[in-house]
Amino acid sequence: MRIAETVTFGGSGLERAAELRARAGDIAALLARDDARVLPFWRGRPLVQTAPQPTATGGGLVWVAPDHPALVADGGFMIFLGLEDGAGRFAQDISAWVPADSVNPLAGGPFDPGSLSHPGFGSDAHFADLRSVMSGLSPRAAECAVMAKAVLAWHETHSFCARCGHPSSVTHAGWQRHCSACDTHHFPRTDPVVIMLVTRGNSLLLGRSAVWPEGMYSLLAGFIEPGETIEAAVRREVGEETGVKIGAVRYLASQPWPFPASLMLGCQADALTSDITLDPAELEDAQWLTREEVAQVAAGTHPTIRPSRRGSIAQFLITHWLADRLD
């Protein structure tokens, strides 16, 4: 396995068994088995162990039986994730549950550290933002969580047919929606995003968004537009955000990022210029940092700059750039 595939959410080789998704009888049989397990989600948050233990059963997640009272009470559909040693693994959104003390107990957002316990799952489990716990999950748990979150988020925003507006229904064990009015089939979407390790000599280009925590800097990133190659997107995004011109571009690694439906495509880009002209609508600041300064940031000893999120592909690429291990 290449180093690139060890990124968080990089995959663990789960047997997705896509051929079973259209076979309702086989899915029902898997759910009826004693070894079937379901990962509950609430408002986009997976159920995790209060003290995550990636090497233990569940890999940091909390799996329950399909007939668990909290799942039955919700009555929602389950999505089939795949097979683990022949046993079915599923996920179910129970967002219809409303905590007794609040209708909106968590603020939400990309840096929300909040968590919430459910009386039906005990004190050793809580719902938490996946970004806040991802680095503590085993590779298998991370793959299951990222898959489930992406598909459940897609269902949440695609209840109606994009062609005719008629309500659509869930089919293929959660992997399709079907419109009976116009017979259109809809599939989960993935939005490609480039994220760039922009280097010039011994320096790295880092930027920050105004909504990030104070002092946090990361790699530049942006969505690929229709009809655009990865290389063209890298050059356009860096140019738009900082005015820096880019020459050679090479692909390094990828990371599923279900917030809500991105695939991060990590690239290294050679800068041809170094002058920065910020687009304030995109970035609050951007700076060139030497390798020595980036090492300080990564170690948490830089006086003003905080590192990117642990477990993100940005942190992964920066760490391996510092170690000269990008291939």
pTM: 0.91
Residue 1: what pLDDT?
44
Q: From residue 289, how far is each of 9, 41, 203 by CA, in Å? A: 28, 40, 5
Residue 4: what pLDDT?
81
Does the pLDDT at position 30 exceed 50?
A: yes
pLDDT digits (tens, 9 = 90+) for 192-208: 999 999 999 999 999 99
Residue 50: what pLDDT?
82
Determine the average pLDDT of the residues in 306-325: 93
First to last CA, the chain: 11
Contact 205, 198 (CB under 8 A): yes
Contact 70, 179 (CB under 8 A): no
Amino acid (1-letter code) at residue 197 = L
Does the pLDDT at position 107 exceed 70?
A: no
Choose among 114, 135, 125: nearest CA to 51: 125
Residue 106: what pLDDT?
53
Residue 52: what pLDDT?
59
Number of H helices and E strands in the chain, helices first, is 7, 15
- Higher pLDDT, residue 106 or 179: 179
| Cα–Cα dist 49/62, whole Å | 6
Does the pLDDT at position 250 exceed 90?
A: yes
| Cα–Cα dist 153/148, whole Å | 8
Does the pLDDT at position 297 exceed 90?
A: yes
Would you state the structure tokens that stand for residue 246, as one six-digit string? 């880019």
Does the pLDDT at position 55 exceed 70?
A: no
Amino acid (1-letter code) at residue 112 = D
Residue 56: what pLDDT?
56
| Cα–Cα dist 226/186, whole Å | 19
Percent of the chain with pLDDT over 90: 82
Sheet holding 115-116, edge to edge: 78-84, 87-93, 37-42, 45-49, 125-128, 115-116
Q: Per-domain residue ranges for the chain?
A: 3-157, 191-322
How would you class 40 by CB atoms within 10 Å of its CB: exposed for 0-12, middle for 13-18, buried for 19 or more? Answer: buried
Residue 122: pLDDT band by 50, 70, 90 thresholds?
confident
Percent of the chain with pLDDT over 70: 93
Residue 115: what pLDDT?
77
Residue 103: what pLDDT?
45
Residue 172: what pLDDT?
98
Residue 75: what pLDDT?
83
Determine the average pLDDT of the residues in 124-142: 93
pLDDT digits (tens, 9 = 90+) for 67-106: 999 999 888 899 999 999 999 999 999 999 988 765 455 5
- Multiple choice CATH, 191-322, 3.40.980.10, 3.90.79.10, 3.40.50.620, 3.40.50.300: 3.90.79.10
